[in-house]
Amino acid sequence: MSIKLGPNRYGKAETRLVHVVRDGPVHHIKDINVSTSLSGDMESAHLTGDNAAVLPTDTQKNTAYAFARKHGVGQIEEFALLLARHFVGSQPTIHHARVEIQEYAWSRGGPHSFVREGGEVRTCVVHHDRDGGDSVVSGLTDLVVLNSTGSEFHGYIVDEYTTLPPTTDRILATAVTARWRHTGETASYGKSYEQVRQCLLEAFADTHSLSLQQTLYAMGERALGACPEICEIRLAMPNKHHFLVDLSPFGLDNDNEVYFAADRPYGLIEGSVLRGDAPGAGFAWE
Ligand SMILES: O=c1[nH]c(=O)c2[nH]c(=O)[nH]c2[nH]1
């Protein structure tokens, strides 16, 4: 029986990279997902376990982060070509590189505040009861926002399991789920929706945050302040962690510039903000 190795390739899939460029107080971000896949003299790796020809996938990931720091990201096609040419050009055993990049679009919400384009969903749940009348809860999900500075987190409990370092400057990013309860019938649900959404975005951008909890409250408070027709807002905000990449092994500093955007686990901050005189909710949240 004759058996041989067929086509093969290997690499690091979905390296999530956020690059922050600071133009004074105005920041710019590039948010990308990089997948590298290399092929070449990989017979021995597969047949005998000899890894002499293998450039580790971990190295491929590090290279993406280091190149973002050294060269910036720019156009994703150019960044992909830079990486692909580097892998093939620097390693004789690598004959071919495939680099795939997805770039997530963000629009500006402030000098260092960004709103992810697309993906946001408007929601509502209404009840009508023979005895209890109507209730209307409006909302949105997946409103993804990011502040590239203006966020701190320190002063928390430290016990024998705490390893989190305190920070006075971190990325704060979340995907907002908000639901708000109307007190009675609202003249224009469309206008009300736009107003609440705008308040959430502005409060997120404006608040110098000492925690996501504080930001959550500020967002709810802003919406209630501007929209007399609503009496309660419930917010669920995952803390989409961005970890500064340690580039010191490659002789590079990283002054809050290149981040690993982790997808899980994430902190989940939830809370309700309501008027002191809000009427009972009845079945509204059911
Ligand atoms: O804003 C935050 N709130 C927390 O409760 C928390 N916990 C944590 O580890 N990081 C953060 N960040």
Q: What is the CATH number of the domain that holds 267?
A: 3.10.270.10
* Burial degree of 195 (CB within 10 A; 0-12, 13-18, 19+): middle
- Ligand 1 contacts CB of residue 216 (under 6 A): no
- Are 36 and 165 found together in one domain? no
Residue with the smallest CA separation from ligand 1 atom 7 is: 267
Q: Give the mean model confidence (pLDDT) for residues 13-41.
A: 97
Sequence-distant (≥ 6) Cβ neighbours of residue 69 within 8 angstroms: 247, 252, 254, 257, 258
Give, for ligand 1, the residue of 158, 211, 241 to mutate: max count of ligand atoms closer than 8 Å to Cβ: 211
Last residue of a domain, one of 72, 104, 136: 104
pLDDT score of 132 more than 90: no
Q: Is the dihedral of CA 87, 93, 95, 98 positive or negative?
A: negative
The pTM (predicted TM-score) of the whole model is 0.95
ipTM higher than threshold 0.85: yes
Last residue of a domain, one of 76, 104, 132: 104
Residue 239 assigned as binding residue = yes
The answer to the question of residue 268 being in a domain is: yes
CA 164–ligand 1 middle distance (angstroms): 9
The answer to the question of residue 255 being in a domain is: no
Name the β-bridge partners of 232. Answer: 181, 274
User: Which amino acid is residue 67, in one-letter code?
Assistant: F
CATH number at residue 73: 3.30.1130.10
pLDDT score of 215 more than 90: yes
Atom of ligand 1 nearest to the CA of 215: 1
- Are 168 and 235 found together in one domain? yes
- Are 81 and 118 found together in one domain? no
Binned at pLDDT 50, 70 and 90, residue 13 comes out as: very high
CB atoms within 10 A of CB 156: 10
> Annotated catalytic sites, by residue?
12, 57, 241
Number of domains comprising the chain: 2
What is the span of the domain harbouring residue 125? 112-240+263-274
Instruction: For the chain, give the mean pLDDT.
Output: 97
CA 169–ligand 1 middle distance (angstroms): 13
The answer to the question of residue 256 being in a domain is: no
- Give the pLDDT confidence of 70-122 residue by residue, as tens digits: 999 999 999 999 999 999 999 999 999 999 999 999 999 999 999 999 889 99
The answer to the question of residue 48 being in a domain is: yes
Tell me how long the chain is: 286
- Are 182 and 70 found together in one domain? no
pLDDT score of 139 more than 90: yes
Last residue of a domain, one of 50, 75, 104: 104
Atom of ligand 1 nearest to the CA of 151: 1
